Amino acid sequence: MNFLSFCTSIIKYSFYAIFLLVPLVFAGNTSELFELNKMWFTWIVTIIIMLAWSTKMIIGKKIFIQRTPLDIPILLFLLSQIISTIFSLDSQVSWWGYYSRFNGGLLSTITYILLYYAFVSNLSLKHVFRSLQVILFGGILVALWGLPSHFGYDPTCLVFRGTFDTSCWTEAFKPTIRIFSTLGQPAWMAAYLLTLLPLIMALALANVKSHIKFWMYTSLVFLFFIEIIFTNTRAAFLAFGVINIIFWGMVFLKKIFLRKEYLRYFAIFQFIFLASFFIFGLPVEPFYRYTLPGIQSSLTAPPTQAPPTQEAPAADPTPPATQAETPSVPQVNITDSGNIRQYVWQGAIDAWKANPIFGTGVETFAFAYYKFRPVGHNLTSEWDYLYNKAHNEYLNYLTTTGIFGLGSYLAFIGLFIFLVSKWFRTNLPAGKTGSTLAIANKKDEKNSTSYAQSSLLTIGLFTGWVSILITNFFGFSVVIINIFLFLIPLFVFILNHSLPDKSISLGPTEPSRNSSISPYYWTVIIALTCFAGYLIISLIRYWDADVKYALGANLDRVGSYKEAYPLLLEAVQIKQNEPVYKDEFAINVAVLATALAQSGDTQNAAQFASNAIALNDDVIQKHPNNVVYWKNRVRLLYTLAQAVTPEQQLLYYQEALRAIQHAATLAPTDAKIQYNLGVLYGQTGDLQKGIEILKQTILMKPDYKDAYFALGLFYRQSAVDTNNRIINPELNTKAIATYEEIITKFGSDEATLQSIEEWKQ
């Protein structure tokens, strides 16, 4: 094997690794178990692919990039992402992507485009077939990994804790209710399986001559489909209904089979789908009652209700802004995900209207949305979640990259659909219409079988790709889905030999066959290898920093701040420009400063407090549009205020008030921010302003118990003098009435009743 072939082999096997391992990769010691690790793996393998491709061009003394029909929309889309990043609310987030997910940032988009051109410029039809085999094998592994979890035996828990059960997951993410396997979220798993389902049906139909292969692929259709049911994702069932119609319609109109044969295979697969729905249920209320679980439910516990399909949010719970907050009442009623999406989509559209051309910046939805967040979102069960995605890929692009970004993205999608439609309108070669099983001679049989196979694979790939467009309408892409989004069109072009006879070439017409490589070229190759190694090592160090940050942040959450300190310090030292690490570390240092002050070590306490403020100052100065950092600044200052003199405490409260005022400009309809704003007005001496803000907070969120408590307390404080004598009976009456309203709305508790009795006296 010469060096050119060796480089091609590296590219080939690297792509196979991506197709096989990206859906499977996860780690239990990172801040995000699934997507972070999948993105990191994709980046590292892409660097290896680009090194091999560059080396191949250097050895061949020729720059070669194969042209494709989608070049213009792809390059326009890339340009839109670059411009949006330049004018972004937070350029670091736009470059890397939102922390913990990373997919969707400019770097990930560049990665997918590089993979697109690396594949088409170096690999061929045989590699497409092998890639499809690898993709299918990976899908089988994902399905087999996830299936036991539906019955209470999750292999992931076996890896994490050594127990073959589902105890490693919280009640909100029980795979017995909605499986997610190695994809990390039920909707993501459903989208992944839906992309592969039509491909498996196509392979089954392409192997109808072999009963063993046909029924093997058909059994895989059954496996994948029941797991789609087990994800309990309504968007997936809508997508399935659409692609099922498109797939069989295209097979019928393409006349790959005679009508009788077509009806036979159509009936087999529809029976599988309907039987699966009946046995395992359908999470859509009008139909669920007619399934076996629905019938059983109606006989035992009426009224019948479909199983829960509340989508796990693409959101992070917002940390409490200050320690002044009392525990919230647990949410009993879970808001339907469709209702929540209406608010999020409305906010996304309003944010786009304020930045119509280039948007707010790639992956900055978490910042853009909160300035236009509908007040009604406060009345949902996810009112205090930080939404970093629009739960609609198209609106997400519209908000963050504007008309230019969404337009180029839709141009990419629309052009591919047009090209497939154009292919579909072409007729079979003369003499090859009708069944591929009824042909005149062996030569015709070979040609017809080859045509049928490529046609079926094209239909399977295209309909799987269409499912991505539908699931993305109700959600957003993850790493493996974006890989499919870019590479499936390429597979279709190669399968149908529809790539243009054009390329971007600089160098000899024929690649050099000279086995000798000059020292100059070796120098360039070694330099590129060193650079690639540096990039990979940097990514590994970044990943290591995340591991330390994840453990440190978890220790902070359970109150082990002293143990978390060295881990967070090391994370900050490894990746000094990562604001997420500094923000968490600043909170940690502030808590330790308070502990030192309370223990009498005032000198170290002052130093720690100064360091905490300096860390936080650096974060908000470099990332002034991130509302979370401003809320955490309030939390930090409030923490430091707990172990100082009353005079110093007032200074901290005043600085915290300025921080929460800025946060309120970034998120004017966030009830939690308004609540903390009102509390801090009161704690800095302006009770009247505090009362005014808290009344507005209750209008935003009438079920906000904490706001009622604070409002009643401020009424009482305004009604009495320093000796606790009533000087304003009207305000005292309002205080009592507010606490009585708490009992009416939220139920009685001893502390509230005691306060009412004391105030009445």
Q: What is the pLDDT of residues 167-224, one digit of tens each?
A: 889 877 889 989 999 999 999 999 999 999 999 999 999 999 889 999 999 999 999 9
**Sorting pLDDT into bands at 50, 70 and 90, what band is 508?**
low
Tokens for 130, please give them: 């092998």
| pLDDT tens digits, 607-666 | 999 999 999 999 999 999 999 999 999 999 999 998 888 888 999 999 999 999 999 999
Whole-number Å distance between alpha carbons of 103 and 100: 9
Q: What is the spatial distance between Cα 120 and Cα 357, in angstroms, rounded to a whole number?
A: 32
Which pLDDT belongs to residue 640? 93
Q: What is the DSSP code string of 266-278?
A: HHHHHHHHHHHHH
C-alpha distances (whole Å) from 179 to each of 231, 238, 488 are: 5, 18, 26
Q: Is 530 exposed, middle or buried (0-12, 13-18, 19+ CB in 10 A)?
A: exposed
Q: Please compute the mean of the pLDDT values over residues 57-84 and round it to a whole number.
A: 94
What's the chain's average pLDDT? 88
**pLDDT higher than 70, residue 602:** yes
Q: Quick: pLDDT tens for 226-260.
A: 999 999 988 999 999 999 999 999 999 888 888 88
Rounded to an integer, what distance in angstroms lies between the CA atom of residue 115 and that of residue 126?
17
CA distances for 62 relative to 58, 448, 493, 507, angstroms: 7, 38, 24, 4
Q: What are the structure tokens assigned to 135, written together?
A: 């993709």
Mean pLDDT across the stretch 285-299? 69
Mean pLDDT calculated for residue range 63-78: 95
What is residue 429's predicted lDDT score, i.e. its pLDDT? Answer: 43
DSSP 170-189: -GGG-TTTS--TTTSSHHHH
pLDDT at residue 160 above 80?
Answer: yes
- Among the residue ranges 321-330, 467-476, 672-681, the one predicted with the least confidence is 321-330
Q: Amino acid identity of 355?
A: N
| Average pLDDT value for residue range 353-369 | 94
pLDDT at 290 > cutoff 90: no
What pLDDT is stored for residue 722 in this prediction?
83
Of the candidates 178, 164, 180, 227, which has an alpha carbon nearest to the alpha carbon of residue 200? Answer: 227
Name the percent of the chain lying above pLDDT 70.
89
Task: Supply the pLDDT for residue 333.
Answer: 66
pLDDT in tens, 692-736: 999 999 999 999 999 999 999 999 999 988 888 889 999 999 999
- Per-residue model confidence as pLDDT tens digits over 8-53: 999 999 999 999 999 999 999 999 999 999 999 999 999 999 999 9
Tokens coding 652: 């901290």
pLDDT at position 194, please? Answer: 97
Q: Are strands 385-387 and 315-317 parallel, antiparallel or unpaired?
A: antiparallel
Q: For residue range 455-466, list pLDDT tens digits in order.
A: 999 999 999 999
3-state percent helix, strand, coil for the chain, nearest multiple of 5: 70, 0, 30
User: Is the pLDDT confidence value at 515 over 70?
Assistant: no
Q: 317: pLDDT confidence band, cut at 50, 70 and 90?
A: very low
* pLDDT confidence bin for 439, thresholds 50/70/90: very low
Nearest to 628 by CA among 410, 317, 391, 343: 317
Quick: pLDDT tens for 551-588. 999 999 999 999 999 999 999 999 999 999 999 999 99
Find, among 668, 171, 605, the residue nearest to 677 by Cα. 668
The pLDDT of residue 285 is 66
The yes-or-no verdict on residue 326 having pLDDT over 70 is no
**Which pLDDT belongs to residue 510?**
59
Q: List pLDDT tens digits, range 396-437.
A: 999 999 999 999 999 999 999 999 999 888 754 433 433 443
Tokens found for residue 323: 């320690």
**Residue with structure tokens 């205080």?**
735
Q: What is the pLDDT, as a whole number, of residue 499?
A: 87
Sequence-ordered alpha helix ranges (H) in 667-748: 671-683, 687-700, 705-719, 729-746
Token digits of residue 119 = 């594949």
Q: Are 477 and 470 in contact (CB under 8 A)?
A: no
Q: Note the pLDDT of residue 500.
A: 83
Opening angle at CA 466, ends 460 and 467, nearest 5: 95
Percent of the chain with pLDDT strictly greater than 90: 71
3-state SS record for 43-59: HHHHHHHHHHHHHHHHH
